[in-house]
Amino acid sequence: MATDIHSTAVIDPSAELGADVRIGPFVVVGAEVKIGDGTYLESHCVIKEFTEMGANNHIHPHAVIGGEPQHAAYKGEKTYTRIGDDNIIRECATIHRGTAQGDGETRIGSNCMLMAYVHIAHDCILGDNVIMANAAMLSGHVEIGNHVIVSGMSAIQQFIRIGEYAFCGGASGYKHDVPPYMLAHGVRGKLFGPNLIGLRRNGFDSATCKSLKKAYKIIFRSGLTKEKGLAQVEQEITGIPQVDNLVEFIRASKIGVAPDHKQHDGHSDS
């Protein structure tokens, strides 16, 4: 059972609280909420109905989790926000639950840090070990892979995918998919090659980094069409799973991947 609930907190009778949950002053926990063991809800945060979170999460003051989606077609359907373990959600962050028009839930993995004023809209999916810096914003249906960093003041439009280990620079807007292992930045979120510093920090060996760099040059800077570039990469670079993931991600893109910063936006699929 929860052992430390402030007398001013408002907890709906249907909420389920794990062991050693701490709840600070003026916290509101809504109906059918599930809070995992060891979680700390600091003062004035609001956990809205149909939110489920795992163990050892730390929610800072004035964060609002599980709010109604900002979607014109939302009519009060029972949809969810599901959050994993060991996440840090900082001051005034907002996370909205899913819609019936989408997957019916917004999902956040484990070991993520969402800094102050981050906004995650309805039906977004975040993997594990994601960092979103201050005031970064996701529109609806965005998918973020594992180990992604989204820098501050960035905005990612609806249905965009950000591949694993990508780095999205700050004060930038993203309207195309950002492939895994890549670094993107700029007003229109263009690519600047592999995220080499981030990859090395995460233990990627030299051979993998060199292979990703070679694949990037073939796909984005050789002048080949997208399909010819991908085919050449498959022929010349074998046995590197990360390169295979890169090729698969680009092929699966429905709205096109971000262009190299030396290209025009209209050439993003070439």
Does 79 score more than 80 pLDDT? yes
266 is catalytic: no
Report pLDDT for 3.
73
Does residue 66 carry a catalytic annotation? Answer: no
- 11-52: pLDDT as tens digits: 999 999 999 999 999 999 999 999 999 999 999 999 999 999
Options 24, 67, 85, 123, the catalytic residue: 123
Residue 122 annotated in active site: yes
- The active-site residue out of 36, 98, 109, 140 is 140
Domains in the chain: boundaries: 4-144, 203-267
Give pLDDT tens digits for 50-61.
999 999 999 999
SS (HEC) of the chain: CCCEECCCCEECCCCEECCCCEECCCCEECCCCEECCCCEECCCCEECCCEEECCCCEECCCCEEEECCCCCCCCCCCCEEEECCCCEECCCCEEECCCCCCCCEEEECCCCEECCCCEECCCCEECCCCEECCCCEECCCCEECCCCEECCCCEECCCCEECCCCEECCCCEECCEECCCEEEECCCCEEEEECHHHHHHCCCCHHHHHHHHHHHHHHHHCCCCHHHHHHHHHHHCCCCHHHHHHHHHHHHCCCCECCECCCCHHHCCC
**Residue in 44, 60, 119, 122 annotated catalytic:** 122
Q: What topology does CATH give the domain 203-267?
A: Udp N-acetylglucosamine O-acyltransferase; Domain 2 (1.20.1180)
Which CATH architecture is the domain 4-144 placed in? 3 Solenoid (2.160)
Single pTM value for the model? 0.95
